[in-house]
Amino acid sequence: MAIDLSKIAKKNKIKYFLISYVDFFGVLRSKLVPSQVIKKMQLEGAGFAGFATYLDMTPADPDMVSIPDPSSLIQLPWQPDVGWLAGDLWMNGKPVSSSPRIMLKNQIERLKRKKLSLKTGVECEFFLISQDGRSIVDEKDIAFKPCYDQSALMRKYDLIKEICDCMIKLGWGPYQNDHEDANGQFEMNWDYSDCLTTADRHVFFKFMVKTLAEKNGMRATFMPKPFVNKTGNGCHAHVSLWNSKGKNKFLDTTDKLGLSKSGYHFIGGIINSAEALSAWFNPTINSYKRINAPVTDSGATWSPNTITYSGNNRTHMIRIPDSGRFELRLMDGSANPYLLQAGIIAAGIDGMDHKINPGKPEFINMYEESHKAKNAKKLPRNLEVALNKLSKNKMMNTSFTSETIKSYIKLRKKEIDLFKSSKISNIKGITDWEKINTLDC
Ligand SMILES: [Mg+2]
């Protein structure tokens, strides 16, 4: 046992551990365990009934355990007697193949066999809203173009500072915080890392923002499109690929956009499977009100609607802002942090293995000149279409097993059935059903 959690508990005065896992729908589940038993739990894991969460299991299935990864330990900065641990799911002595964190680790392993690793950073946007979810919390935040508004940002200084202080304490390297493009919307950025660390931090960040917002009398939501006339919550990822000698495999300074052949092939893989990936990257019914949205009050949705890539141009699904990396702008705030990273790797490997040509980049303003790109493929119009694309996508079925893909589709289709059978009223284009089911995503 390289990292002994019981010793760390004594040294850092941790009284309780949250042994957690994330289910298929990205929900963070936990057991709160006293530090007196952490030695045993570190080895054997904490027990859960899988059927009770979003995993394709039955009530008759045996106990599933979450084995905590001690290297993921985060001592809650605002509650230092509690330590949070990300966990991997096991059942009957074997890893659960549909455990999202294990699904990501399997893809990392595939890259490792090629002596490669993925580094990513995520940009999590969120709204600060009233407890009932009906309105944004700052009544003065009404400008048509509120992006980077200093006064609106500083009116929320106490909370933003508290979250940023936590990230500084945790050593995440936060470097900027801003008011985003919609009234009530914010974004906080921290340094990129290896993709598993980023995924664990992404999970924790959402928990931290929601918890601290609540402590300050507000509610934070990562819902893709909580307000029909405002810009939605994206979750863009900046992606680069590295070899074991620390060389960026996407970097080619002789290329016009600064990207290597491997980089273009990697993008080719994502473009080739973008419709299927949408089922993971835009996993909720509400997601499709962000990517297929009409122009917002601010003048742009800032989300893609076509499967295209570009240079430093934010109107496309993929932007190459700088040499040696690209930004994938498809994902929204409801994406499962582990499936987000796992999907990028699987599609990227497919692109590199099959040398998939991404086609020519588009440099037009896609929001105004889409008629000039007649052959540009559209993103799925709703979750059902995306799930059908996922079920037929060979790359996804072979990378993650068709059994796992079937389970995911089964659970999401059940959700669509529930939505269709709901009698809840439609309020300004976003239904109450969506709010009840997505505000806390
Ligand atoms: Mg942003």
The average confidence (pLDDT) of the chain is 96
Query: Burial letters for 401-410: b for 16+ Cβ neighbours within 10 Å, e otherwise?
Result: eeebbebbbe
- Whether 230 shows a pLDDT value over 90: the answer reads yes
Using the mean position of ligand 1's atoms as its centre, give its distance from the Cα of residue 334 in Å.
15
pLDDT tens profile 113-148? 999 999 999 999 999 999 999 999 999 999 999 999
In this structure, which long-range contacts are made by residues 167-173, counting pairs with CB atoms below 8 Å and at least 24 apart in sequence? 169/77, 170/74, 170/77, 172/201
Spacing, Cα 13 to ligand 1 middle (Å): 37
Task: Show me where the domains of the chain are located.
Answer: 14-96, 106-438
DSSP codes, 74-91: EE-TTSTTEEEE-EEEEE
Instruction: With a cut of 80, say whether residue 425 has pLDDT above it.
Output: no
Of the pLDDT bands very low, low, confident and very high (cuts 50, 70, 90), residue 423 is confident
Predicted local confidence at residue 427, as pLDDT: 53
Residue 108 amino acid letter: I
DSSP bridge partners of 121: 238
Distance 180 CA to ligand 1 centre (A): 6
**Dist. CA 185 → ligand 1 center (Å):** 9
Distance 153 CA to ligand 1 centre (A): 14
For 55-101, the pLDDT digits (tens) are: 999 999 999 999 999 999 999 999 999 999 999 999 999 999 999 99
Q: Is the pLDDT of residue 288 over 60?
A: yes
Q: What percent helix, strand, coil does the chain show, rounded to 5?
A: 40, 20, 40
Ligand 1 center from residue 323 Cα (angstroms): 20
Instruction: Kindly give the distance from the C-alpha atom of residue 308 to the centroid of ligand 1, in angstroms, as a whole number.
Output: 19
| Percentage of residues in the chain having pLDDT higher than 70 | 99
Q: Are strands 309-310 and 174-179 parallel, antiparallel or unpaired?
A: unpaired
Quote the Cα angle for 172-173-178, to 5°.
110
Would the pLDDT of 4 be above 80?
yes
Query: What is the CA(215)–ligand 1 centre distance, in A?
Result: 24
User: pLDDT-based confidence at 293, cuts 50/70/90?
Assistant: confident
Measured in whole angstroms, how far is the alpha carbon of residue 290 from the centre of its chain?
Answer: 15
* Domain 14-96: top CATH class: alpha beta
Q: Does residue 397 have a pLDDT over 80?
A: yes
CA of 27 to the centre of ligand 1 (A): 23
Residue 1 has a pLDDT of: 61
How far is ligand 1, taken at its centre, from the CA of residue 10, in Å?
Answer: 40
- Whether the per-residue pLDDT at 426 is higher than 70: the answer is no
Q: How far is the centre of ligand 1, averaged over its atoms, from the C-alpha of 8 (Å)?
A: 37
Q: How far is the CA of 124 from the centre of ligand 1 (A)?
A: 7
Q: Please tell me the distance between residue 284's alpha carbon and the centre of ligand 1 in angstroms.
A: 20
Q: What percent of the chain has pLDDT over 90?
A: 91
DSSP state of 371: G
* CB neighbour class for 58 (10 Å; exposed up to 12, middle 13-18, buried from 19): exposed
DSSP readout, 402-421? HHHHHHHHHHHHHHHHHHHH
| Residue 300 CA to ligand 1 centre (angstroms) | 12
Q: Convert 14-41 to b/e letters by CB count within 10 Å (16 or more is b).
A: bebbbbbbbbbbbebbbbebebeebeeb
Indicate the pLDDT class of residue 257, thresholds 50, 70 and 90: very high
Q: Output the CA 203–ligand 1 centroid distance in Å.
A: 18
pLDDT digits (tens, 9 = 90+) for 180-225: 999 999 999 999 999 999 999 999 999 999 999 999 999 999 999 9
CA 382 → CA 90, 142, 155, 251, 437, distances in Å? 33, 30, 37, 35, 16
187 Cα to the center of ligand 1, angstroms: 6
Q: Are 124 and 187 in contact (CB under 8 A)?
A: yes
Between the CA of 393 and the centroid of ligand 1 the distance, in Å, is: 30
Amino acid at 126: F
Between the CA of 212 and the centroid of ligand 1 the distance, in Å, is 21
Q: CA torsion, points 177, 162, 76, 68, in degrees to nearest 10?
A: -20
C-alpha of residue 5 to centroid of ligand 1, in Å = 37
Q: How far is CA 21 from CA 50, 54, 119, 430, in A?
A: 11, 11, 22, 30
Q: Among the listed ranges 93-102, 165-174, 362-371, which one has the minimum average pLDDT value?
A: 362-371
Q: Which amino acid is at 63?
A: D
Where does the pLDDT of residue 422 fall: very low under 50, low under 70, confident under 90, or very high at 90 and above?
A: confident
Cα 44 to averaged position of ligand 1 atoms, centre (Å): 41
pTM confidence score? 0.97
Q: What distance in angstroms lies between residue 122's CA and the mean position of ligand 1's atoms?
A: 10
Measured N-to-C along each axis, helices 337-353 and 195-215 cross at an angle, to the nearest 10 degrees, of: 160
Answer yes or no: is pLDDT of 270 > 70: yes
CA-based max dimension of the chain: 65
CA of 341 to the centre of ligand 1 (A): 18
> Is the four-CA dihedral 19, 337, 193, 166 of positive or negative sign?
negative
Ligand 1 centroid–CA 123 distance in Å is: 6
- For 106-438, the fitting CATH number among 3.20.20.70, 3.30.590.10, 3.20.20.140, 3.40.605.10 is 3.30.590.10
Q: How far is the CA of 281 from the centre of ligand 1 (A)?
A: 16
Please tell me the distance between residue 234's alpha carbon and the centre of ligand 1 in angstroms: 7
**Residue 387 CA to ligand 1 centre (angstroms):** 26
